[in-house]
Amino acid sequence: MTTLIGPSEKQVDFILTLLSERDIEAGTADEMRENLPAMDKRQASDLIASLLKLPKLPRVRRPNPTQEFLAAIQKSKYALPVSHINHLDLDFEIHGDLLFVEVREYMGTLYMRRLTGSLGGFTRHKLSVHDVIDLAKVIASNQYLYAKTFGEHYSCCGSCGAELTDPTSRSLQLGPECRKKFGF
Ligand SMILES: [Zn+2]
């Protein structure tokens, strides 16, 4: 004979999960939790069936932790000398003496990508959340320096990569539109 006394552990776990995920009044959910030990297996399975019919609560979307750090710097390309970042515990290895990154916005979200390859044909690599935050902090300490370093390395506008045709642009290493972003 199968005993009907008390719900199984599996049933209890499932009911507790459902109570936290389904759209149910908090007071009612508390009452169900309290009554759980007094239920038999059949009542528990009936309860599961009725909870499964309830709509799921919308998932809480966590705010993206990188956004406030990326919002503090310009949307631009940057080159960071390795000596400026070798105190950081980065999740990737840097080859060469400069790290190239780009900050840009896509559909309302700011992204930082690591760039490898050459101008016009960059490969963009994802960075971990903690790398993005650490690198954004370093960039924020001297944004113009790092944009300019990018421009110097590639002989172009440090911010967008455009060719620089006039002497002022070349001396700043920023084109006429991009230098406004950096306050020139
Ligand atoms: Zn530019």
Are 80 and 170 within one domain? yes
Say if residue 5's pLDDT is above 80: no
- Give the model confidence (pLDDT) of 58-97 as tens digits: 877 778 899 999 999 999 999 999 999 999 999 999 888 9
Say if residue 1's pLDDT is above 60: no
- Whether the Cβ atoms of residue 120 and residue 154 lie closer than 8 Å to each other: no
Angstrom distances, CA of residue 131 to CA of 28, 69, 139, 147, 179: 44, 11, 12, 18, 27
Are 45 and 75 within one domain? no
Predicted pLDDT at 148: 96
Sign of CA dihedral 108, 80, 128, 113: positive
CA of 67 to the centre of ligand 1 (A): 23
Are 80 and 131 within one domain? yes
User: Within a domain: residue 75?
Assistant: yes
Predicted pLDDT at 60: 75
CA of 107 to the centre of ligand 1 (A): 21
CA of 160 to the centre of ligand 1 (A): 4
Of residues 14, 4, 9, 10, the one with CA closest to residue 39: 4
CA of 178 to the centre of ligand 1 (A): 4
Percentage of the chain modeled with pLDDT above 90: 82
User: Within a domain: residue 46?
Assistant: yes
Predicted pLDDT at 6: 86
Are 122 and 75 within one domain? yes
Residue bearing the bigger pLDDT, 45 or 2: 45
CA of 112 to the centre of ligand 1 (A): 17
User: Within a domain: residue 60?
Assistant: no
CA of 92 to the centre of ligand 1 (A): 28
Are 40 and 90 within one domain? no
CA of 157 to the centre of ligand 1 (A): 5
Predicted pLDDT at 4: 58
User: Within a domain: residue 1?
Assistant: no
Are 82 and 170 within one domain? yes
Q: Please state, in angstroms and rounded to a whole number, the distance separating the CA atoms of residues 56 and 51.
A: 10
Task: Count the domains in the chain.
Answer: 2
Say if residue 3's pLDDT is above 70: no
Are 39 and 119 within one domain? no
Predicted pLDDT at 39: 92
Residue 14 domain boundaries:
9-52
Place of tokens 């309302």: 108
- Give the model confidence (pLDDT) of 25-44 as tens digits: 988 999 999 999 899 999 99
Over range 137-163, report the average pLDDT: 95
User: Within a domain: residue 3?
Assistant: no
